[in-house]
Amino acid sequence: MSVLEMKVPSPGESITEVEIATWLVEDGDYVEKDQPIAEVDSDKATLELPAEESGIITLKAEEGDAVEVGAVVCLIDMSAAKPEGGSSTEAKKEEAPKAEAPKPEAKKDTYATGTASPAAKKVLAEKGISASSVKGTGKDGRVTKEDAVKAVPSMGTQPANGSRGTERKKMSMLRRKVAQRLVAVKSETAMLTTFNEINMQPIFDLRKQYKEDFKAKHGVGLGFMSFFTLAVVRALELYPDVNSMIDGDFQIKHDFQDISIAVSGPKGLMVPVIRNAENLSFRGVESEVKRLALRARDGQITVDEMTGGTFTITNGGVFGSMLSTPIINPPQSGILGMHNIVNRPMAVNGEVVIQPIMYVALSYDHRIIDGRESVGFLVAVKEALENPVELLMDNNPTKALEM
């Protein structure tokens, strides 16, 4: 018998542990080589685990288990023949006899019924839930700590009609890590946000004039992200403190701009990085944004593609957000929030004119970025976006968009 031990591969250099999110096969199934057999969560991404060989699989870990990189999670018997007439899963379903459900024994209430253990009392007190409202599963109906952990606050009186169902689902390792990082940002940084508004009409005019030729020439659209990315690169060069980070008692400044772009993927928010954005043209930025967004959407993004970054851009406007205070992506010190574009009345040359306006927000770590730098940075972004031909295209839009 030839048995292969499948071990957890390393998703990235800094990752030592993953969590089995979902087994896509059952114990005893026949699997084909390269068939996805599990989804594993790290603190940075969810990845598929493919079968290394064909054969009968024996699972060595449960869903929800945290396993170290290099640990054996399943065995594959490569000497086993492929079952005829369908998968082994179907065969098991046909063979499985119908077992009669055991009749539950009637439990009698005692003095302990509804009484909470000391550990359960503490958990219920933190949740603000009365022990009498929780059904105990312990001996004689006693409320256990597990009962208290699973208990949810009452949502009011049951209505005559309508569903009142709830679902308890463990958060993914990625989501839990994000939650920890967000709480840490609020407690460990001096985060402030400054706001401004941008008249998007000049960019609207440029896109209207060049977007068809740009797409025909380069195979990608001329979107807003390239304008914002290049405006951010220029502003970071003018205000390098915004492109820095804190390391203990030291401030680390970068002479490059790796721009993290927040995108919504099937597993939640992901932040792939555009490397050395200062060297990219409009075409280069649009191509890279499209490539990374597609990889995030298809679940192919790697940890390395989301690691690093010196500054982040997030676009809540695609979901309809008018204004928000984006939260810093540590260990970075700044994040720019884009929002929706709305036609608003604006004073132009002494007259009220309807213009497409976007509100923008810069959240920053006040420990190393002062008001002068933060406000100056956002004004520099505004200036570049309202004067793109002069400040982003060197007064030659045709040449800038052909590169």
Catalytic positions, please? 366, 370
- Whether the CB-CB separation of 130 and 153 falls below 8 Å is answered with no
Q: How far apart are CA 397 and CA 162, in angstroms?
A: 59
Q: How far apart are CA 268 and CA 270, in angstroms?
A: 6
Phi/psi-derived region of residue 69, left when phi > 0, alpha when psi is between -120 and 50, beta in every other case: beta
**The two three-digit tokens of residue 15, written as one number:** 């990752």
Measure the CA angle with vertex 202, ends 200 and 206; round to 5°: 115
Q: How far apart are CA 45 and CA 61, in angstroms?
A: 20
H-helix segments, 298-337: none
Q: How far apart are CA 332 and CA 330, in angstroms?
A: 5
Sequence-distant (≥ 6) Cβ neighbours of residue 20 within 8 angstroms: 38, 40, 61, 62, 63, 64, 65, 67, 73
Measure the CA angle with vertex 241, ends 275 and 287; round to 5°: 20
Q: How far apart are CA 258 and CA 243, in angstroms?
A: 9
196: β partners: 360
Which position has the token pair 């810093």?
Answer: 328
Q: Which amino acid is at 296?
A: A
Buried b (16+ CB within 10 A) or exposed e, 17-46: ebbbbebebeeebbbeeeeebbbbbbbbbb
How far CA 264 is from CA of 135, 181, 314, 327, 376, in Å, comes to 39, 18, 10, 16, 30
| DSSP annotation of 100 | P
Q: Which amino acid is at 244?
A: S
DSSP 3-state of 19: strand
